[in-house]
Amino acid sequence: MGIDGSRVNRIVFLDRDGVISRAVVREGRPFPPACVDQTEILPDVAEALALLQRAGMQLVVVTNQPDVARGTQTREAVDAIDAFLAARLPLDRFEVCYHDDADNCKCRKPKPGLILAAARALGGDARNGFMVGDRWRDIEAGQAAGCRTVWIDREYAEKSASGYDYRAQSLLEAAQWIVQQL
């Protein structure tokens, strides 16, 4: 409950590739699947999302998809993957950034724009939420939005996240920790 006795609208913000679905890893770096046929929901995701949902959390995917701006992926393919996931999982909303770093938009993680937009749309406050991601950009975006952050360490060959609130090996482990914090 909020200070004034109102119900607090709690949200878990989830990165897509590497958290919900399996990232395509090449030379130790994660990439999104190219199409629905390559999209694989990770083994513990349905159980983790059900646990969070039972705890009263809204579930929002916040994902960077810069391959659209780079011309190596279509927006339609990204939307089809999101629709595939939405049809199979209890997700409340998707927020997608289709830009690349050079676009300098407010929505591309590590900036908090996707998180803040979703919180506004759902009538929530990001400061009452949790951001779960597998990359440093996810963690920094969550921190910038005022969320508590959970890093799922996939041991990618890239910059590691830092300053996160909890480090997990899976979404289920992350969800169990989040529920304990409520």
Residue 101 lies in a domain: yes
The model's pLDDT over 127-158, given as tens digits with 9 standing for 90+, comes to 999 999 999 999 999 999 999 999 999 999 99
Residue 6 lies in a domain: no
Residue 2 lies in a domain: no
Q: Is 42 exposed, middle or buried (0-12, 13-18, 19+ CB in 10 A)?
A: middle
Q: Is the pLDDT of residue 121 over 60?
A: yes
φ, ψ (nearest 5 deg) of residue 141: -65, -45
Residue 3 lies in a domain: no
Residue 26 lies in a domain: yes
| Residue 52's CATH number | 3.40.50.1000
Residue 29 lies in a domain: yes
Predicted confidence band of residue 9 (pLDDT cuts 50, 70, 90): confident
Residue 4 lies in a domain: no
The model's pLDDT over 37-73, given as tens digits with 9 standing for 90+, comes to 999 999 999 999 999 999 999 999 999 999 999 999 9
Q: Which residues are catalytic?
A: 15, 17
φ, ψ (nearest 5 deg) of residue 157: -90, 65
Domain extent, residue 96, equals 11-181
- Please state the domain count of the chain: 1
